[in-house]
Amino acid sequence: MGTVIPLAAGVDYADLHFVGHPGIIATALIHGVDGVAIVDPGPATALPVLEEALKTRGFGWRDVRAILLTHIHLDHAGATGSILALAPQATVHVHERGAAHLIDPSKLLASASRLYQADMERLWGDVLPVPAAHVRILGDSDHLTIAGHAIHAAWTPGHAWHHVSYFLPASGIAFVGDTAGICRPSGRLIIPPTPPPDIDLDAWRSSTETILAWNPETLFLTHFGPAPAPRVHFQALWQQLDSWSLKVRASLARQDLEDHERSQQFVDDVMADIARETSSEEAQSYARAGRFDFSWTGLARYWRKQQHP
Ligand SMILES: [Zn+2]
């Protein structure tokens, strides 16, 4: 637990061992002489692991200068308010469309509760409000300097409407949150997380171009870790997104099914596809990083809107 893996000079990442499982949530630490920035700190349930990771590099909460959020979903940002209570000097960077829901998380919690229901506490723990004075709002493109690192930020909607990605030109690493999908360390299978309510495939395509325009050498995925060959990686992601869209649209065309049956069929189908290419344990692990029933709902919502805007 608490293993810190080097990525580049002054850049490491930690496996948060999300609810006891390795290889699900990766948090990056960007550091220099004057402190550390945390990219997507994860949920509060993983705070002890994150604290251990900081300690491994000689940092405590007091050294945290910034939290860089790709988006506010709880698996990426749930711990932010709790960290601010421990690191009152830190600034939280978030896109302007997500900021209000960090400051007052009630709507975010209500929508997450609809999805996760009785599992909220076990998965995410506390979700505390972030004091407005500590929120630094990002626009569609920003240049930051944090802990001695030049960092570019760009709006990359598609998975979430307020999603941003960060790029470190010095090391060629793009921190892309969920925009480049889920890719477990075991294999190179790339699976898109497409939960409701924001999925927008057209925006996602433009965001892919935005990220590739940085010409990154490495993509850093929250689920999970560094991925080489960004162009090939995104090609594989889009193949999968196109194939999922076909499955979802075929299920929507079936008049004899209810939504819960369409969703179940999609889940069974996707689990079988992944198990065939990896193993059934791996299929379970992919599902842990991005539930397939939620992905059906997110894509179904998108395709229904395309038909009846
Ligand atoms: Zn995620």
CA of 156 to the centre of ligand 1 (A): 14
Beta bridge partners of 21: 18
Structure confidence at residue 3 as a pLDDT band (50, 70, 90): confident
Q: Report CA(222)–ligand 1 centroid distance (Å).
A: 6
Question: What are 232-269's pLDDT values in tens digits?
Answer: 999 999 999 999 999 999 999 999 999 999 999 999 99
For the chain, what is the radius of gyration of the CA atoms? 18
The CATH homologous superfamily to which domain 4-231 belongs is Ribonuclease Z/Hydroxyacylglutathione hydrolase-like (3.60.15.10)
How many Å lie between the centroid of ligand 1 and the Cα of residue 130? 20
Whole-model pTM: value is: 0.96
| Start-end of H helices in the chain | 47-56, 74-77, 80-86, 96-103, 106-116, 120-124, 201-213, 230-253, 259-277, 280-289, 292-307
Please give the mean pLDDT across all residues of the chain: 95
Instruction: Say how many Å lie between the CA of residue 223 and the centre of ligand 1.
Output: 7
Interior angle at CA 204, CA 203 and CA 207, nearest 5: 90
- Domain-by-domain residue ranges, the chain? 4-231, 240-307
Output the CA 283–ligand 1 centroid distance in Å. Answer: 16
To the nearest 10 degrees (0 to 180), the angle between helices 230-253 and 259-277 is: 140
Q: How far is the CA of 255 from the centre of ligand 1 (A)?
A: 32
**CB 28 within 8 Å of CB 13:** yes
CA of 221 to the centre of ligand 1 (A): 9
Give 172 Cα–ligand 1 centroid separation in angstroms: 22
Higher pLDDT, 307 or 74: 74
Distance 76 CA to ligand 1 centre (A): 6
**Confidence bin at 2 (pLDDT 50/70/90):** low
Dist. CA 180 → ligand 1 center (Å): 10
pLDDT band at 309 (very low <50, low <70, confident <90, very high): confident
Answer whether 190's CB lies under 8 Å from 233's CB: yes
Please tell me the distance between residue 256's alpha carbon and the centre of ligand 1 in angstroms: 33
CA of 192 from ligand 1 middle (Å) equals: 10
Q: What is the pLDDT of residue 308?
A: 80
Report how far ligand 1's centroid is from the alpha carbon of 42 (Å): 9
C-alpha–C-alpha distance, residues 140 and 130, integer Å: 22
| pLDDT, tens digit, 9 for 90 and up, residues 14-23 | 999 999 999 9
Q: What's the gap in Å between 135 CA and the centre of ligand 1?
A: 21
DSSP string, 173-185: EEEEETTT-EE-T
Q: How far apart are the first and last CA of the chain?
A: 48
